Structure 1
Amino acid sequence: MTWTTRPRSEFGALRAITAGQGPVVVLIHGVGLQADAWNAQIDALSDRFRIIAVDMPGHGQSPLGADDMVLQDFTDCVVAGFDGPALVIGHSMGAMIALDMAIRHPDMVRGVAALNAIFERDGAAALAVKARANSLDGAKVADPTDTLERWFGDTASAERNACDHWLRHADPKGYRSAYTVFAQENGPAADDLATVSCPALFMTGQEEPNSTPEMSEKMAALAPKGRARIIEAAAHMMPMTHAAQVNTALEEFAQEVWS
């Protein structure tokens, strides 16, 4: 897979990669990345669906907006870009946004897929992510070495190189804004998940240490139409590193949602 930068279109106040025709599928990436992180999914899904892969506020080619955004602000920026309904797929913080959209804007969401989503972090994990957020000053790019180690271990790959490039060229203010929200949030409330009436897929990697399989399984049990899928031998960046398995699961889910 070549992780090239694709052209963007306007998407409300944001920018997005668009491809294909058919029922709408919205893709939302995680902190420090950009819409091109979904290249493998865009290629796999765009022959049957209208793909909108969004640059989150302050990421890629999208402007940040306010410095003090909360999760709902990120969600509302995405909601403002289309009329719905859509299958909404998010990865990491993008999964937070996708689930928030399903909870607060159910008329816009035909189905939701939360990839590598966090839910009720334990005390040590919560302290660690908040410490990382507090270390960001918004003035200079954060050293991505530790982040890449968490995502890829010691393995060299084109996917690691692409993420290294995106992280090193991220807007420092945009990165801090999004990471602060990511650190402060602890996943959707259990009572809110119980209100998600659309089909909901919770998918993560078998070797994911932070957005663990147990988290996905708990959320799937709480959502009325939830189901969990665990990708064998995968970790946090599974949409890139295990694209074939992830794409198969998403293609099956999209066909179900839009049948």
Structure 2
Amino acid sequence: MVVATTSEPTTSAPSLRRQYARNGAAYHERGEGEPLLLIHGVGMRLEAWAPQIEALGVSHRVISVDMPGHGESVPLAKDSSLADFVAWFAGVLDALRLDRVNIAGHSMGALVCGGAAARFPERVRRVALLNGVFRRDPVAKAAVMARAASIEEEGVDVDGPVQRWFSDDEESRTPRLLTRRWLSLMDKDAYATAYGAFAGGDSTYADAWPTVTCPALFLTGSGDPNSTPDMARQMAALAPRGIAHIVEGHRHMVNLTAPEAVNALMRTWLATPETSS
């Protein structure tokens, strides 16, 4: 069941019209055809998928969702785990009456999509992880856990993510400004909950990739220091139908900084037969 309404812009950037599902999820829908559900990363909102919504909405029914506590979606309980976000994701599928769907996630959204492919594979046609993390090494794990712990006292960090996620080049200027704006709009408690699940969730469903038999795309930027190319290759090697693509010269927000390359790779992924010959 869905309640449709029109949301007012909440940022200085163009805002996409939202609808609201019964479970409190806010989403934007465009196009017709086979459904593709998109979920963004921590601190972002559904507008972060704007280049993919525009390009892939030509051939697919593209549904971009605000993660709990982000944009206009209702937050989850404080200290919710990755498993709770995956359960919420299943609730979105139920609320939108999506029996089987293509799913793509970025960063934290990639962890959610990986969990969905592990927990309810019968509902997943294809899965794509953009800039996903996988079994961080001890140094990276300590760093991300420290960042999660600091949110309670220091609030939402805007500068740190922008510095990690982008190169300091003119071509990335607009995505940098948008990302900074979206981070500045975040509620601290919702951010802390999502970031805590992200920090602690890199191994939650890591063992499940050998059982995920649908087409699986693992994509990241060559310069992403946290969702590294090695992580993408490791997951692709484990998934029976996994494939890794590394976009050279880009970092974490590769879908915004290299939209044409990402859109082309996603089109190829969406055209892959669901079952292997």
Report the TM-score when normalising by structure 1: 0.95
Shift of 1:190: 4.5
Shift of 1:120: 1.3
- Stretches of structure 2 lacking an aligned partner (at least 5 in a row): 1-11
Shift of 1:146: 1.2
Given the alignment of the two structures, is residue 174 of structure 1 paired with residue 190 of structure 2, yes or no?
Answer: yes
Correspondence for 1:109: 124
- Stretches of structure 1 lacking an aligned partner (at least 5 in a row): none
Given the alignment of the two structures, is residue 70 of structure 1 paired with residue 70 of structure 2, yes or no?
Answer: no
Given the alignment of the two structures, is residue 28 of structure 1 paired with residue 47 of structure 2, yes or no?
Answer: no
Spell out the pairing of 1:201-240 with structure 2 (5 A cutoff): 201-240=217-256
Residues 27, 3 of structure 1: CA spacing in aligned structure 2 closer, same or farther, 3 A cutoff? farther
- Which range is displaced more, 54-63 or 67-76? 67-76
* Structural RMSD (CA): 1.7
Query: What letter matches 2:49 in structure 1?
Result: W
Residues 152, 225 of structure 1: CA spacing in aligned structure 2 closer, same or farther, 3 A cutoff? same
Q: Distance in 1 between matches of 2:99 and 2:86?
A: 14
Shift of 1:213: 0.6
Spell out the pairing of 1:4-43 with structure 2 (5 A cutoff): 4-11=14-21, 12-43=23-54
- Contact in 1 for aligned 2:27/2:63 (Cα 8 Å): yes
Q: Distance in 1 between matches of 2:84 and 2:149?
A: 20
Query: What letter matches 1:130 in structure 2?
Result: M
Q: Distance in 2 between matches of 1:184 and 1:171?
A: 20
Would you identify which runs of 4 or more consecutive aligned residues in structure 1 move more than 6 Å?
A: none
Q: Distance in 1 between matches of 2:27 and 2:263?
A: 20
Which one of the candidate residues 116, 128, 145 is aligned to 1:130?
145
Q: Distance in 1 between matches of 2:187 and 2:106?
A: 19
Shift of 1:153: 3.6
Q: Distance in 1 between matches of 2:63 and 2:16?
A: 12
Q: Distance in 2 between matches of 1:14 and 1:204?
A: 27
Cα-to-partner distance string for 1:178-203 (whole Å, 9 max, x where unaligned) = 00011112245453111101111111
Q: Distance in 1 between matches of 2:38 and 2:87?
A: 15
Query: What letter matches 2:252 in structure 1?
Result: H
- Contact in 2 for aligned 1:87/1:257 (Cα 8 Å): no
Correspondence for 1:96: 111
Residues 72, 189 of structure 1: CA spacing in aligned structure 2 closer, same or farther, 3 A cutoff? closer
Q: What secondary structure sits across from 1:89 in the alignment?
A: strand
- Contact in 1 for aligned 2:79/2:197 (Cα 8 Å): no
Shift of 1:9: 0.8
Q: Distance in 1 between matches of 2:99 and 2:67?
A: 18
- Contact in 1 for aligned 2:115/2:205 (Cα 8 Å): no
Q: Distance in 2 between matches of 1:257 and 1:81?
A: 25
Shift of 1:141: 4.3
Q: Distance in 1 between matches of 2:60 and 2:210?
A: 28
Residues 101, 175 of structure 1: CA spacing in aligned structure 2 closer, same or farther, 3 A cutoff? same
- Contact in 2 for aligned 1:141/1:169 (Cα 8 Å): no
Query: What letter matches 1:31 in structure 2?
Result: V
Given the alignment of the two structures, is residue 148 of structure 1 paired with residue 162 of structure 2, yes or no?
Answer: yes
Q: What is the percent sequence identity of the aligned residues?
A: 39
Correspondence for 2:71: 60
Given the alignment of the two structures, is residue 120 of structure 1 paired with residue 135 of structure 2, yes or no?
Answer: yes
Q: Distance in 2 between matches of 1:255 and 1:137?
A: 44
Correspondence for 2:212: 196
- Contact in 2 for aligned 1:34/1:55 (Cα 8 Å): yes
Query: What letter matches 2:106 in structure 1?
Result: H
Q: Distance in 2 between matches of 1:189 and 1:173?
A: 25
Query: What letter matches 1:84 in structure 2?
Result: D
Q: Distance in 1 between matches of 2:134 and 2:202?
A: 6
Q: Distance in 1 between matches of 2:189 and 2:50?
A: 25
Report the TM-score when normalising by structure 2: 0.89
Shift of 1:137: 1.2
Query: What letter matches 1:178 in structure 2?
Result: A
Given the alignment of the two structures, is residue 185 of structure 1 paired with residue 196 of structure 2, yes or no?
Answer: no
